Structure 1
Amino acid sequence: MDTLPVRTEPLGGPGRTLRIDSGRPLAELTAAVNDACDWAGEQEVPPTLALHLGATRAPVSARSPWPGQVGVQDVNRWERAVRRLERLEAVSIAIAAGGCQGAALDLLLAADYRIATPDLRLLLPVNEGHFWPGMAVHRLVNQIGAARTRQLVLWGHELSAESAHRMGLVDELTTEVDDTVRAAALLLGRVSGAELAVRRQLLLEAATTDHEEALGSHLAACDRELRRLAEDGAR
């Protein structure tokens, strides 16, 4: 089975590429994500993180158990690392190919922009007939609703690239990955890091927060934008 190493490398600009294979040990994956987040937090200008989600060529029925022989503390550290990535003042672009499950699925759902090749197969991890109840389910319900998530969770359905794109889980399908990543980085890089974090947080809270509670956060964001506009107008 071919695997991709977990490593970081320059992105050809203010960014870095993180290559991850879900078959690697959970502790190694957690460390790789945290290291990338540490690096992003040290940059003067919010960078772009390109997440290349490596996939096994094995058939779905032969996929490796996720998350492997670990304790709940290890799972907690992983979920915290994914959440940290999700809240960074940095643009995250996921590139998924082949079977996307486990760590690859978690990171795909946490990314700001999601690119997939036509051979993508998106599925939730199942170990010997037992579904893995990780936070991917929470993100799926928030992003595509309970009815569509039910098809994945209860019936064990996998999604093709076309289905994932149609549901909005993938933003773009392409065979020209490098060009698409560069274009996405240029597009999303126009938004400041702090502003991107605010927009992302409002989206994350919208599905679980009632109107009155959400109003305060939205008004605070509006106030910041009004102040920015006033400062620009005074120049």
Structure 2
Amino acid sequence: MTAAGVGDLVLHVDGRQPVSPAVVEMVLAVCERAEDDYGAGLLMVYVSGAPQPGWTRDVNVGLLTKWERAVRRIERIGMVTVAVSAGDCGGTALDLLLATDIRIAVAGTRLVVPVSVDATWPGMALYRLARQGGRLRRAALLGTPVDAGAAVEAGLLDAVVDRPDDALAEVAAAVAGLSGKELAIRRQLMAEATEHSFEEALGAHLAACDRALRRVAVS
């Protein structure tokens, strides 16, 4: 897994690599750059690869806790996050794919819930799969790979393309001028919509509307 940034931030994620302190630190470093130096733009996450048998050998709950917090930080970051997936995508790659805003797949992509010993891995990818694509029970329970077309139908991917650069250019044009902080607020409101009733959500939405009106008044 490597990260580099020219203009926008870029993160490359190899799902064949198991969770490790180095992987956690790489993701956290990108988050810190985004929070310190970027108020808008894209965080592009290129994901591919799935774990091999025995990948949990050096993994423990303490490390997993740090990893899940790092993924959650990506999920809440004040930038538009775009994943580009290719080939089989599982493990750390699947975790981060499911935490991004926009997901573009190269033809031939498959989403794979990894298996550990005698069952699918029970990490937070299962939680996100259930919330975002609840019909894919076979993938969550049996580890059956989900091809790109089925993932689009389930809402887990936004598009399958042959030329991801063209799709990224379209996203970048749409994002131009948007505030990362304001986008993060909208993302949170959308996430909470599945958990709260209308009455429970109303106050947070009105507060966001009031904030938007005040921003307009001083612009």
- TM-score greater than 0.5 by the shorter chain: yes
Given that 1:67 and 1:102 are in contact with CA atoms closer than 8 Å, whether structure 2 keeps it comes out as no
RMSD: 1.9
The equivalent residue for 1:96 is 85
The alpha-carbon distance between structure 1 residues 66 and 227, as it changes in their structure 2 partners (threshold 3 A), is farther
Given that 1:25 and 1:68 are in contact with CA atoms closer than 8 Å, whether structure 2 keeps it comes out as no
The equivalent residue for 1:59 is none
TM-score, normalization by structure 1: 0.85
Q: Which has the higher contact order (CA 8 A, sep 6+)?
A: 2
The equivalent residue for 1:43 is 37
Tell me how far 1:93 sits from its aligned partner.
0.8
SS of match in other structure, 1:154:
helix
Unaligned stretches of 5+ residues in structure 2: none
Tell me how far 1:175 sits from its aligned partner.
1.3
Tell me how far 1:35 sits from its aligned partner.
0.7
Distance 1:172 1:190 in 2: 23
Give a deviation string over 1:79-109, Cα, whole Å, max 9, x none.
Answer: 0000001111111110101111111111111
Q: 1:122 aligns with which of 91, 111, 124?
A: 111
SS of match in other structure, 1:24:
coil
Q: 1:19 aligns with which of 4, 12, 30?
A: 12
- Structure 1's consecutive aligned runs of 4 or more residues displaced over 4 angstroms after TM superposition are 65-68
Give a deviation string over 1:15-37, Cα, whole Å, max 9, x none.
Answer: 12111112224122211110110
The equivalent residue for 1:9 is 4
Is 1:55 aligned to 2:49, yes or no?
A: yes
Distance 1:198 1:66 in 2: 36
Given that 2:41 and 2:172 are in contact with CA atoms closer than 8 Å, whether structure 1 keeps it comes out as no
One-letter amino acid matched to 1:162: G
**Which structure 2 residues correspond to residues 130-209 of structure 1 after superposition, within 5 A?**
130-145=119-134, 148-209=135-196
Distance 2:90 2:57 in 1: 13
SS of match in other structure, 1:29:
helix
The alpha-carbon distance between structure 1 residues 68 and 196, as it changes in their structure 2 partners (threshold 3 A), is farther
Distance 1:25 1:96 in 2: 18
Moved more, 37-46 or 76-85: 37-46
Aligned length: 218
* Percent sequence identity over aligned pairs: 41
Given that 1:23 and 1:64 are in contact with CA atoms closer than 8 Å, whether structure 2 keeps it comes out as no
TM-score, normalization by structure 2: 0.91
Tell me how far 1:191 sits from its aligned partner.
2.2
Give a deviation string over 1:59-96, Cα, whole Å, max 9, x none.
Answer: xxx83445442110100000000000111111111010
Given that 2:39 and 2:181 are in contact with CA atoms closer than 8 Å, whether structure 1 keeps it comes out as no
Give a deviation string over 1:155-179, Cα, whole Å, max 9, x none.
Answer: 4322111111121111121111222
Give a deviation string over 1:149-202, Cα, whole Å, max 9, x none.
Answer: 423223432211111112111112111122222221222234211111011101
One-letter amino acid matched to 1:184: V
- Identify, as 1 or 2, the structure richer in strand: 2
One-letter amino acid matched to 1:23: R
